């Protein structure tokens, strides 16, 4: 286990690239770049179980870092370990902003377990990981993310009391995808209110890229609201499952086809990050982007490109905060109605960001960052959004 502890600072939202902001690597980024400023980075290895993991704490200004554990192989990268570290750093920073905007008494943290969960995930590995999280003494509270599930949190919790997203049978809140999707839907309703004067997607065409845990539930909300829904996913079985439940949903070959779909009103990226890049933004037909994926902006400047094309962007870390609201409530003794009521406030928060963006003359992403940074600077007494 190795720690990297630069002085805490609140970095802006852009992601860290593989070469760092100054071209001198990850350590320079952590210690010297404005994109760094993480309080602590923990490298975890357990030879017996094969565990290799990264835990990143970006800020504890508002309370213990809270964020999920991602289990992913990073197989398409020349250096999987470095890619995992960068992912953890970017995700942890996003959680600082997300938790601040959600009005939670938590800072930002995130963890990544390196490997294919279908091949290497074992009880022994999860228990070893739980011991590493527990060694932080409550500075980091973990939960589910891509590749980890409620049953995994139940195992981790056997070694670590700072574990949320557990099953109801173990005193937990269960699958956080439910309120994640609900929150994204509230952000989408706010986008519709801002663009078209009514908080509904009825009669609108929405394209959902990624219909896994969250995207599938989001489709349910959209259909109930009267939207026409197009979907795509790299896993054909995920699309087939949605269409079996809702034959009226239209399948699209891939994301490239979805973003170019004629008549698209809203694009909802609900898979992995980087969905909004230099290839996608110029061809995007939607008038708004609002989805569940983290770190949707592939690099700094994309938010300006979206605004330049007249595309309204609902900042991802604001609209997808329903899940973290749910798991944070678990620490209080989970009450679904209380958590859902808090997640419903994402509608008002998203509208306030659009208003701040118009007032300041900046893209919504920049407006959200400014609000989040002011909340973190104010500390725990700053109150809710």
- Alpha-carbon distance 367 to 313, whole Å? 11
Buried b (16+ CB within 10 A) or exposed e, 231-268: bbbeeeebbeebbeeeeebeebeebeebbebeebbbbb
The C-alpha atoms of residue 194 and residue 234 are separated, in whole angstroms, by: 32
pLDDT computed for residue 20 by the predictor: 44
Instruction: Read off the tokens for 82.
Output: 């470095």
Interval 150-167: pLDDT, tens: 999 999 999 999 999 999
* Res 88 pLDDT > 70: yes
Q: Kindly indicate the confidence band of residue 8, based on its pLDDT and cuts at 50, 70 and 90.
A: very low
pLDDT at 376: 92
The residue with greater pLDDT, 32 or 130, is: 130
Residue 273: what pLDDT?
Answer: 83
Selecting among 52, 110, 121, 287, the annotated active-site residue is 110
For range 275-293, the mean pLDDT: 97
Report the C-alpha gap between 330 and 356 in whole angstroms.
32
Q: What mean pLDDT is predicted for residues 66-89?
A: 92
Contact in structure between 97 and 13 (CB atoms under 8 Å): yes
330-360 confidence digits (pLDDT tens): 999 999 999 999 999 999 999 999 999 999 9
Q: Which domains does the chain possess? A: 2-170 (3.40.50.10860), 177-321+350-367 (3.40.50.720)
Identify the pLDDT of residue 295. 85
What are the φ and ψ backbone dihedral angles of 231, each rounded to 5 degrees?
Answer: -135, 155
pTM: 0.85
pLDDT, one tens digit per residue, over 239-268 is 999 999 999 999 999 999 999 999 999 999
- The per-residue pLDDT for 266 is 98
Place 33 in a pLDDT band, splitting at 50, 70 and 90.
Answer: low
298-326: pLDDT as tens digits? 999 999 999 999 999 999 999 999 999 99
Has 119 been annotated as catalytic?
Answer: no
In tens, the pLDDT along 357-381 reads 999 999 999 999 999 999 999 988 6
CB 165 within 8 A of CB 153: yes
108 CA to centre of own chain: 11
């Amino acid at each position: 286990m190795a720690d990297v502890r630069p002085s805490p600072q609140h970095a802006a939202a852009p992601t860290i690239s593989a070469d760092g902001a100054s071209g001198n690597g990850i350590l320079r980024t952590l210690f010297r770049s404005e994109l760094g400023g993480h309080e602590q980075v923990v490298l975890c290895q357990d030879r017996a179980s094969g565990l290799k993991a990264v835990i990143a704490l970006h800020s504890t200004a508002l309370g213990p870092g809270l964020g999920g554990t991602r289990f992913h192989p990073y197989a398409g990268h020349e250096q999987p370990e470095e890619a995992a570290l960068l992912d953890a750093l970017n995700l942890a920073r996003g959680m600082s902003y997300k938790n601040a905007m959600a009005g939670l008494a938590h800072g930002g943290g995130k963890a990544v377990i390196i490997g294919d969960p279908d091949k290497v995930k074992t009880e022994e590995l999860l228990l070893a990981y739980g011991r590493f999280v527990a060694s932080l003494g409550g500075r980091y509270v973990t939960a589910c993310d891509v590749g980890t599930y409620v049953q995994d949190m139940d195992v981790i919790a056997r070694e670590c009391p700072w574990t949320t997203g557990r099953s109801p049978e173990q005193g937990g809140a269960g699958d956080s995808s439910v309120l994640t999707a609900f929150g994204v839907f509230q952000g989408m309703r706010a986008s519709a209110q801002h663009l078209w004067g009514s908080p509904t997607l009825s009669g609108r065409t929405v394209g959902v890229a990624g219909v896994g845990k969250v995207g599938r539930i989001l489709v349910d909300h959209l259909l109930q609201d009267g939207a026409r829904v197009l979907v795509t996913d790299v896993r054909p079985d995920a699309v087939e499952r949605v269409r079996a439940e809702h034959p009226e949903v239209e399948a699209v070959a891939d994301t490239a086809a979805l973003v170019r779909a004629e008549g698209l009103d809203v694009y909802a990226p609900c898979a992995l990050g980087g969905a909004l890049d230099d290839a996608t933004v110029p061809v995007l037909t939607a008038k708004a982007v609002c989805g569940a994926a983290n770190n949707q902006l592939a690099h700094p400047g994309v938010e300006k490109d979206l605004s330049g094309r007249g595309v309204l962007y609902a900042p991802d870390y604001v609209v997808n905060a329903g899940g973290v609201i749910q798991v944070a409530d678990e620490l209080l003794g989970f009450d679904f109605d209380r958590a859902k009521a808090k997640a419903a406030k994402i509608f008002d928060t998203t509208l306030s960001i659009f208003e701040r963006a118009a007032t300041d003359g900046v893209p919504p992403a920049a407006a959200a960052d400014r609000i989040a940074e002011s909340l973190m600077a104010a500390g725990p007494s700053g109150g809710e959004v």
